[in-house]
A and B are shown apart, each in its own frame.
Chain A
Amino acid sequence: MTGSAAALAKRETGIIGLDRMTGGGLPAAGGALILGRPAAGKTVLTLQLVAMALARGQAAIFVSFEESREQLLRNAAAFDWGRQLNDDANFALIDARPGAGAQIAGEFDLEGLLAAVGHCVERTGAEWVIFDGIDQLLRRHRDPLLAADQVHLLSSWCEERGLTLLLTGKLDHSELAPRHLDGVEFLLSTVLVLSTRLVASRLARRFRIAKYRGSAHTTDEVPMLIDAAGVHFPYSDETDPAPSSPAPVERISTGVDRLDEVLGGGLYRGSTTLISGKPGTAKTTLCGSFAAAAAARGEKVLFLSFDELQAPVTRNLATVGVDLNAPIRDGLVSFHAREAWSSLLEEHYFAIRRAVDQERPHCVVVDPASALFKVPGGEAAKVTVERLLSAFRKRGITTILTSLGSQDDPVSEATLSHASTLADTWLVLGFNVTAGERNRSISVVKSRGSSHSNQVRELMLSGDGIDLADVYEYGSEVLMGTARLQKQNEETFAGRLKALADAQRKRELEHQIQLSEAEAERLRLELAAQEQERATREAISDRYQLEVLQRRHSATLRSDRSSTGADPKTQRKSQK
Chain B
Amino acid sequence: MAFNYAEYIRPGKLPHIWCPGCAHGTVMKSIIRAIDRVGLEKDRTVIVSGIGCASRMPGYVDFNTLHTTHGRSLPFSTGVKLADPGLNVIAVAGDGDALAIGGNHFIHTCRRNIDITLIVFNNNIYGMTGGQFSPTTPHGKLASTTPYGNPDYAFDVVELAMGAGASYVSRSTAYHAIPLERQIADGINHKGFSVIDALCTCPTTYGRRNKLGSAVDMIGWFKDNTVGIKAAGKLPPEKVEGKILTGVFRKEEKPEYCDEYAKIIEKTGGRS
Tell me, yes or no, whether A binds B: no
Binding site for A on B (CB under 8 A): none
Binding site for B on A (CB under 8 A): none
